[in-house]
Amino acid sequence: MHDDRSLVEARLKRVLDERIRPAVYPESVPLDVAVWNAPGEPVPVAEGLAGPTEPIAVGARWGAPWGTSWFKVSGTVPAAWAGRTVEALLDLGFDENMPGFQCEGLVYRPDGTPVKGLNPRNQWVRVGAPVAGGEKVLLHIEAASNPVILDYHPFLPTQLGDKETAGSEPQYTLARMDLAVFDEDVWNLVQDLEVLGELMQELPVEGARRWDVLRAVGRALDAVDLQDVGGTAAAARAELAGVLATPAAPSAHRISAVGHAHIDSAWLWPLRETVRKVARTTSNMTALLEDEPDFVFAMSQAQQFAWIKEHRPEVYAKVKAAVAEGRFVPSGGMWVESDTNMPGSEAMARQFVHGKRFFLDEFGIENDEAWLPDTFGFAAGLPQIIKAAGSKWLLTQKISWSQTNKFPHHTFNWEGIDGTRIFTHFPPVDTYNCSMKGSEIAHAATNFKDKGVAQHSLAPTGWGDGGGGTTREMIAKAARLRSLEGSATVTWETPADFFTKAEAEYTNPPVWVGELYLELHRATLTSQAKTKQGNRRSEHLLREAELWAATAAVRTGFAYPYEQLDRIWKTVLLHQFHDILPGSSIAWVHREAEKTYAAVAEELTGIIDAAQRALAGDPAGGLALVFNAAPHTRGGVPAGAAATAPTPGTTRSTPREGGGHVLDNGLLRVEIDGRGLVVSAYDIAADRETVAPGAAANLLQIHPDFPNMWDAWDVDAFYRNTVTDLTGLDELTPVTDGVRIVRSFGDSKVTQVLTLEPGAKRLDIDTEVDWHETEKFLKAAFPLDVHAERYASETQFGHFYRPTHTNTSWEAAKFEACNHRFVHLEEPGWGVALVNDSTYGHDVTRTVRDADAGTTATVRVSLLRAPRFPDPETDQGVHRFRHALAPGAAIGDAVREGFRVNLPERRLTGEREVEPLVGVDNDAVVISAVKLADDGSGDLVVRLYESTGGRAKVTLATGLRTAGVVATDLLERPLAEAQVPESDGDGVRLSLRPFELVTLRLARG
């Protein structure tokens, strides 16, 4: 037989595009359309429905950037259509290639009842099936004219990302506003042909199945009368029935489809718009659930449920009813799909606390899975947190975006820093917006790396980011793929159903130890410095507020601000979303975030001040008190206490021969040369130099920074090829215990104050940068005389080691990595820490010196970037950072100094000192939270962890009478399987594994 395959395939494409798809709606009549453009921000639904409209015609321009237009569409169903299915086709000017990235609409009935969302791939509203003819149709559309930020030429700088700069030019052209007859036979023919046509493309040419399908498609096309598609659609479908009925092989890969609509809580739109995106999508999905009995939809992010509960109660009522039926599934158990690299220990824990508690309170549902498809890598401390929250599974897809190395598993156990293992799945479909295309289904099956030992994978299915979620077309395709020869099988299932099956079939999966590093989007550790500072400072202010409020509540009857703290935590957790904290959102988002963080700081400072005043008593008492919120004694003041502090010694400052200054406090001797660079940091007791020979530390360096794509997200390795050392000096002057250095470069200026405090074994570095560069990357380099093949970076509830070398491509790919408060390098018996108050990105490299064959390990902290997309003014302005170099520091010293720089002492005059509410007798054990129980019982909750990576015996001393103590999960519920704390009059005794996290609940006597 002659090979006519290409001929048939080309015929299929043209006939589908030009004849069959247009015949889905064979008849139509125009609707009357009127519009009201709401002034300013979005208005309540009732106001929008009542707004004064004026006529608008198809073809007219509408929609200023970020505006809202309320369209009223009306018409009458023709009598001739009686007995047929009729739909309204409402095209706001969509580009079907951009679901989620342009205008969107939510359709309401005149009484305010939400019907469904309008999106580029979902433009229909059912009027009747069948209609009687003569029905009046009246619908209202709340249409958001969100501008296109990420266009066909992506990453071009634009002023559209902020309402203040976006202008008022209409963005869209009103396209189609019709009533139309919907021909279900033709629509089903489209689905049949699409599934088979897409399947054909994935089957081997030499296989019989491909030719069977090809011949059936050819016969179906022969059966179609192109002048009467509707009348011949059933005959064409009959020609396809045989090949559609042939079942899949028993060995076929099995896909659990989960209805999904990944919605970024902010990104190329502000937070307020996400509220409406969620309302549109959930309206779509609740309507679809009513029509499709096999369909299951999952939505993560408790914050998004809370938004529609508050702002769209009429939508939330439908959601809640669908959840009760078990087919609309709250998933993930986190407040938002947060970044997991940068949030601190407690914040990461509270993501699960607040997320799981919301789902429990609202729906009586507890999630076993963490659901983070789009997060930019996963910190090594996360498995323990997931387990401590009562969950046991993790799903993500983003690691498939890695540029250098392909991850070796799709289903595996992920082991964290403490040894906790979490059953983890990466969907091999390699998208969290699966649309049931044949290429996607085939890719999932062929790409799956665990063949032979496992057969199941998951496919999150639906358009995200306001694209409307799952469509009826996806459901139709999935039905045809339930068991189809040549394809993986597809079944709608909940995440829990999938994980239960996957875990049961794969009882001994491979293990991945340590962080799940994304080899992409590394610059998110640095972009939008003020957002990152706001997060870090909010986290530590929350620690202080809880500690002092709990102490004051127990000691003085102070009113513990339960509701206030709950609200503030949720605000901070929201801003840890994986496009806010990473700095990859539009200007509007980060401008609002800066204001929000300022308000959070003011409110938390008020709580702290009030609690400390209650504890300290009358200021006329005259005691100069120092409050220490850090978890270690410092300056003679115990952790969690307030006391009078001893007067420190002195630091000697002398001129340096050849220029500069020498600082000496008896513990360190620091030399700053005439360029204002640190050329020596000498540990006097250890008789040991910190700075590598011939090198200089605190050296500011600037690089060009223009990645190949994803400007705010990425820094590409070639940025290192060009570097400029900033050694020009405007000013070098002595100040108390240190020096002040001023430099100018480009259009920017940096002022640094280097301080060696009396009694401190560290050099403090306060940096102020007035930054006006674009597409540049600013770092501060510290070349250290340390021979170390690995270094430690703090992460949640511990630290994680990374190599300093690049033996393999996996190590070389980690050229920019995340730390929390410190990085630490060590030779046996001597180490050095570099701590920070608000920076996360860094790099560490090692070289061997020619002169003495010694090893130099250079740590560089990342200070500022200046990408122009999506915010063309990223990081412009004044920034302040604090760092400290701590020579001779062991890992425990690094932990201590990290807390010190992030939790400055507070000074207050009062009448009495304050004893700690709780304390530990082992410095390796860190108390991460002291608070009252969230249930309002008055019980005291203390969370602690082993911080050095070793075993620790510890006694928790309590300054209160207790009626009992239990170990709990993060939600403060007693654990059935946990070591029973030993408690007596001296306190609570525990024995901790390396990095073990323990939460204790103490009932007050």
Give the model's confidence band at 648: pLDDT under 50 very low, under 70 low, under 90 confident, else very high: confident
- 500-527: average pLDDT: 98
Among candidates 78, 176, 168, 169, which has minimal Cα distance to 131? 78
Per DSSP, the three-state class of 553 is helix
Which amino acid is residue 744, in one-letter code? Answer: S
Report how far apart the first and last C-alpha atoms of the chain are (Å, whole number).
90
Percent share of the chain, pLDDT over 90: 97
Q: Say if CB 299 and CB 460 are below 8 A apart.
A: no
In whole angstroms, what is the distance from residue 335 CA to residue 432 CA? 19
Q: Say if CB 357 and CB 245 are below 8 A apart.
A: no
Long-range contacts of 799-802, Cβ-Cβ distance < 8 Å, separation of 24 or more? 799/417, 799/824, 799/891, 799/947, 799/949, 800/379, 800/380, 800/381, 800/417, 800/514, 800/515, 802/844
Give the model's confidence band at 981: pLDDT under 50 very low, under 70 low, under 90 confident, else very high: confident
pLDDT at 986 over 90: no
In whole angstroms, what is the distance from residue 867 CA to residue 526 CA? 11
Strand blocks (E) in 66-135: 67-76, 85-90, 104-108, 114-118, 124-128
DSSP state of 950: S
Question: Given the structure tokens 């396809």, which residue do they identify?
Answer: 240
- 285-300: average pLDDT: 97
Residue 141's H or E segment, with its range, is strand 136-145
| Strands, sheet with 731-735, edge to edge from the N-terminal-most edge strand | 731-735, 738-745, 748-755, 763-771, 877-887, 830-836, 822-827, 790-795, 798-803
* The three-state (H, E, C) secondary structure of 475-510, written as one string: HHHHHHCCCCCCCCEEEECCHHHHHHHHHHHCCCCC
Taking residue 522's Cβ as centre, other Cβ atoms within 10 Å add up to 26
Structure tokens at 652: 């000697």
pLDDT at 649 over 90: no
Q: Which pLDDT value is given to residue 1?
A: 62
pLDDT at 522 over 80: yes
In whole angstroms, what is the distance from residue 760 CA to residue 781 CA? 22
Q: Say if CB 502 and CB 427 are below 8 A apart.
A: no
| Residues sharing a CB contact under 8 Å with residue 81, sequence separation 6 or more, in sequence order | 27, 131, 133, 181
Compute φ and ψ for 391, nearest 5 degrees.
Answer: -105, 170
pLDDT at 980 over 90: no
β-strands 254-259, 32-38: how paired?
Answer: unpaired
* Whether the bond into 427 is cis, omega within 30 of 0: no
Angle at 444 between CA 442 and CA 447, to 5 degrees: 100
What torsion, rounded to 10 degrees, do the Cα atoms 620, 623, 626, 629 define? -70
pLDDT at 442 over 90: yes
Strand partners, 725: 701
Give the model's confidence band at 978: pLDDT under 50 very low, under 70 low, under 90 confident, else very high: low
Q: Say if CB 635 and CB 628 are below 8 A apart.
A: yes
Q: Answer left, alpha or beta for residue 89, where phi above 0 means left and psi between -120 and 50 means alpha.
A: beta
pLDDT at 65 over 90: yes
- What are the CA-CA distances from residue 229 to residues 17, 18, 27, 82, 220 (Å)? 13, 11, 13, 20, 11
For the chain, the C-alpha Rg in angstroms (whole number) is: 31
Residue 725's H or E segment, with its range, is strand 724-725
Percent share of the chain, pLDDT over 70: 100
- 691-717: average pLDDT: 98
Q: Say if CB 940 and CB 1004 are below 8 A apart.
A: yes
Angle at 943 between CA 941 and CA 944, to 5 degrees: 145
b or e along 606-639 (b: 16 or more beta carbons within 10 Å of the residue's beta carbon)? Answer: ebbebbbbbbbbeeeeebebbbbbbbbbbeebbb
Q: How far is CA 322 from the centre of its chain?
A: 27
Q: Which pLDDT value is given to residue 977?
A: 73
Q: Which pLDDT value is given to residue 979?
A: 64
Q: Which pLDDT value is given to residue 983?
A: 75
In whole angstroms, what is the distance from residue 571 CA to residue 565 CA? 10
Structure tokens at 546: 């809880």
pLDDT digits (tens, 9 = 90+) for 507-519: 999 999 999 999 9
* Whether the bond into 693 is cis, omega within 30 of 0: no
Residue 446's H or E segment, with its range, is helix 438-447
Structure tokens at 258: 């989960």
b or e along 663-697 (b: 16 or more beta carbons within 10 Å of the residue's beta carbon)? Answer: bbbebbbbbbbebbbbbbbbbeeeebbbbbeebbb
Q: Say if CB 275 and CB 266 are below 8 A apart.
A: no
Q: How far is CA 620 from the centre of its chain?
A: 48
DSSP string, 756-779: --TT-SSEEEEEEEEE--SSEEEE
In whole angstroms, what is the distance from residue 587 CA to residue 101 CA? 16
Which residues are known catalytic residues?
374
In whole angstroms, what is the distance from residue 30 CA to residue 76 CA? 10
Q: How far is CA 933 from the centre of its chain?
A: 27
In whole angstroms, what is the distance from residue 192 CA to residue 236 CA? 10
In whole angstroms, what is the distance from residue 373 CA to residue 396 CA? 4
Q: Say if CB 675 and CB 658 are below 8 A apart.
A: no
DSSP state of 155: T
| Residues sharing a CB contact under 8 Å with residue 1005, sequence separation 6 or more, in sequence order | 960, 961, 962, 963
Per DSSP, the three-state class of 313 is helix
Q: Answer left, alpha or beta for residue 424, where phi above 0 means left and psi between -120 and 50 means alpha.
A: beta
Q: Say if CB 955 and CB 986 are below 8 A apart.
A: yes
Judged by average pLDDT, the poorest of 479-488, 650-659, 708-717, 884-893 is 650-659
Give the model's confidence band at 800: pLDDT under 50 very low, under 70 low, under 90 confident, else very high: very high
pLDDT digits (tens, 9 = 90+) for 817-827: 999 999 999 99
- 406-419: average pLDDT: 98
State the chain's maximal CA–CA distance in angstroms. Answer: 104
What torsion, rounded to 10 degrees, do the Cα atoms 221, 223, 227, 233 define? -90
Among candidates 968, 921, 925, 970, which has minimal Cα distance to 944? 925
Count how many Cα atoms sit within 13 Å of the Cα of residue 787 in the half-sphere of its side chain.
Answer: 8
Compute φ and ψ for 208, nearest 5 degrees.
Answer: -65, -35
Q: Say if CB 621 and CB 885 are below 8 A apart.
A: no
Structure tokens at 602: 């003011």
pLDDT digits (tens, 9 = 90+) for 568-617: 999 999 999 999 999 999 999 999 999 999 999 999 999 999 999 999 99
Angle at 667 between CA 662 and CA 670, to 5 degrees: 25
Q: Which pLDDT value is given to residue 959?
A: 81
pLDDT at 961 over 90: no
Q: Say if CB 476 and CB 191 are below 8 A apart.
A: yes
Q: Which pLDDT value is given to residue 3?
A: 84
pLDDT at 76 over 90: yes
Give the model's confidence band at 944: pLDDT under 50 very low, under 70 low, under 90 confident, else very high: very high
Which amino acid is residue 722, in one-letter code? Answer: T
pLDDT digits (tens, 9 = 90+) for 873-891: 999 999 999 999 999 999 9
In whole angstroms, what is the distance from residue 386 CA to residue 388 CA? 6
**Could you give the angle at which helices 562-574 and 345-363 cross, rounded to 10 degrees?**
110
> Across all residues in the chain, what is the average pLDDT?
97
Q: Which pLDDT value is given to residue 404?
A: 97
Question: Given the structure tokens 């560490």, which residue do they identify?
Answer: 844
Query: What is the value of pTM for the model shown?
Result: 0.97
Q: Say if CB 456 and CB 439 are below 8 A apart.
A: no
